[in-house]
Amino acid sequence: MNLAPLQSLYDHPGPFLSVQLDRSRTTRDAARLLAARWEAVRADAITLGADEATVSAIERALTDDVHEGGKRGRLLVSAGGAVRLDETLDTPPKRDVARWWRLPDLLPLVAQAVRRLPYAVVVADRTGADITVHTSAGDLRTEVEGQDYPIRKVAPGGWSQRRYQQRVENVWEQNAREVARHIDGVVRAHRPRVVMVAGEVRARALLREQLAEPVRDLLVDVEEGGRAAGASEESLQAAIDRVVAERAEEEIRSIIETYREEIGQRDRAVEGLDATVAALRQGSVAALLVRPDLANGEVWAGGEPLQIALSEAQVAAMGADQPFRVSAGAAVIRAAAATAADAWCVEEPGVPLRDGFAALLRYRAAPS
């Protein structure tokens, strides 16, 4: 999960009300249960000192809940009377929680980062394509329409048949080039880890021919779905979820393998809260690794993202006027976001993550 899109969240000085709720919809009385859970969390938020406007902003967002059914959770972050972040969690939290901190609690997002890879979906036919880019900041959709005549091969007969069919082939190729141009732009701008292509078989083949080789390496063909009326969106979404999960598992396995190699060499990896914090201050963290069940410590922080240390004196020496004590997870994620680092949840017990934190580095960290 790339944390850079979350940087704007920290433009507000806080404090932040971070709420995790089980918003599963598996029974007929799901709305009543959610209302009851919210009332309990609301009372906790007020007790913690959250102001009425900030609490009410979350209540309004819950009233307007239009998220899908099934077992889900929800993370909402509010500050200054407005909701600043509203994310569906793939699994419900173990308990409903309200936290009133100087920084938002984004650890639940990192905990599901393995399922949040940026990806693109292209549903193509011979006239164009629908392109959707899924990022941590939301979905971006583009419709590409090429020429629509002549688009189908027919058998007109006579001397003109071959020429007519060649014109059709030329239109198909031209439309594929236009779609490929848009996909190339999407990959440059958003760097998806995988590009899934659904729709007509012939359109997919033409599109693959027109794409640059680095983009072709990201392609995965999906048989489900299409642009024609009646195409199943449910089956396409199921295929997308399957491909993303497979690609995410591959990526996290690769990251863990790299981490094990680097931590063994003590070269481009660090382990433990103190070493991770030092690497973040130097801007050398490429990927933050977190074990949420162990990441229970606290640090001192200042108003700037990289004002973070294990002691108040260290943060004051960095120029922070009013150092404050805060959850290590909240401060570490803010620093990682400021330096455009990725963040991954590592749940394998055999991976050494002392204090629940470790990092892969862009370059070898200097002694702190």
Residues 159 and 190 reside in one and the same domain = yes
Residues 245 and 341 reside in one and the same domain = no
Q: What is the CA radius of gyration of the chain?
A: 24
Hey, which residues does 139 pair with through a beta bridge? 134
Note whether residue 110 is domain-resident.
Answer: no
Note whether residue 35 is domain-resident.
Answer: yes
List alpha helices for the chain, DSSP H. 30-48, 52-63, 107-111, 161-190, 201-210, 213-216, 233-265, 273-281, 312-317, 328-338
Residues 273 and 240 reside in one and the same domain = no
Work out the angle between the directed axes of helices 161-190 and 201-210 (0-180°, nearest 10): 60
Cβ neighbours around 350 below 10 Å, total: 6
CATH code of the domain containing 187: 3.30.420.60
Note whether residue 366 is domain-resident.
Answer: no
Residue 259 and residue 344 in contact, taking contact as beta carbons nearer than 8 Å:
no
Residues 307 and 335 reside in one and the same domain = yes
Number of domains in the chain: 3
Helical (H) or strand (E) element with 110: helix 107-111
Residues 124 and 98 reside in one and the same domain = no
Instruction: Give me the domain span that covers residue 328.
Output: 266-361
Distance CA 302, CA 300 (A): 7
Note whether residue 257 is domain-resident.
Answer: no
Residues 57 and 90 reside in one and the same domain = yes
Note whether residue 28 is domain-resident.
Answer: yes
Residues 233 and 126 reside in one and the same domain = yes
Note whether residue 344 is domain-resident.
Answer: yes
pTM: 0.76
pLDDT (tens place) for every residue of the chain, 368 residues total: 777 778 889 999 999 999 999 887 777 777 788 888 999 999 999 999 999 999 999 999 988 765 556 678 899 999 999 999 998 887 888 899 999 999 999 998 888 765 667 899 999 888 888 899 987 666 788 888 866 654 444 455 544 555 545 566 667 788 888 888 889 988 988 888 899 999 888 888 988 988 888 899 999 998 887 766 566 778 888 888 889 888 888 888 888 999 988 888 777 999 999 999 999 999 999 999 999 888 889 999 999 999 999 999 999 999 999 999 999 999 999 999 999 898 988 887 777 788 999 999 998 755 55
Residue 268 DSSP symbol: S
74, 105, 136: which is the final residue of a domain? 105
Hey, which residues does 297 pair with through a beta bridge? none
Residues 9 and 78 reside in one and the same domain = yes
CATH code of the domain containing 312: 3.30.1330
Residues 161 and 74 reside in one and the same domain = no
Instruction: Name residue 204's amino acid.
Output: R
